[in-house]
């Protein structure tokens, strides 16, 4: 398996951007006491970023992806983050394997 230089560069730059945003928050807000509202926003932000990256994929209209999205959304209303992610990944993999594109 070979990795194209442009792909490797994109992966490394995304990792660097992710790291800088995480460490930036600690550097800017590390010695401050945050209100409960700001804490909630900071806890919610990673999920919002993840959705903004994943959401365009579901605009394709593939039945497997749309069903997987619905199952994941249902799981998110009832379960914590890890089981929700596992259900989303497993349902997407299984449905893509069994439903035609």
68-83 residue pLDDT tens = 888 988 998 898 888 9
Question: Sorting pLDDT into bands at 50, 70 and 90, what band is 45?
Answer: confident
Torsion sign (Cα): 47, 53, 59, 61: negative
| pLDDT higher than 90, residue 61 | no
Query: What confidence category does residue 27 fall into, taking pLDDT thresholds of 50, 70 and 90?
Result: confident
Q: What gap in Å lies between CA 81 and CA 8, rounded to an integer? A: 28
For residue 90, what pLDDT is reported? 92
User: In whole numbers, what is the pLDDT of the chain averaged over residues?
Assistant: 83
88: CB partners within 8 A, 6+ apart: 68, 71, 72, 75
Contacts of 76 (CB under 8 A, 6+ apart): 84
């Amino acid at each position: 398996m070979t990795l194209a230089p442009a792909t490797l560069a994109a992966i490394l730059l995304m990792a660097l951007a992710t790291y800088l945003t995480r460490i930036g928050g600690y550097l800017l807000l590390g010695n401050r006491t945050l209100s409960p509202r700001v804490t909630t926003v900071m806890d919610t932000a990673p999920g919002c970023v993840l959705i903004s990256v994943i959401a365009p994929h579901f605009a394709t209209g593939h039945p497997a992806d749309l069903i997987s999205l619905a199952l994941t959304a249902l799981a998110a209303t009832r379960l914590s983050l890890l089981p929700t992610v596992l259900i989303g990944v497993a349902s997407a993999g299984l449905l893509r394997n069994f439903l035609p594109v």
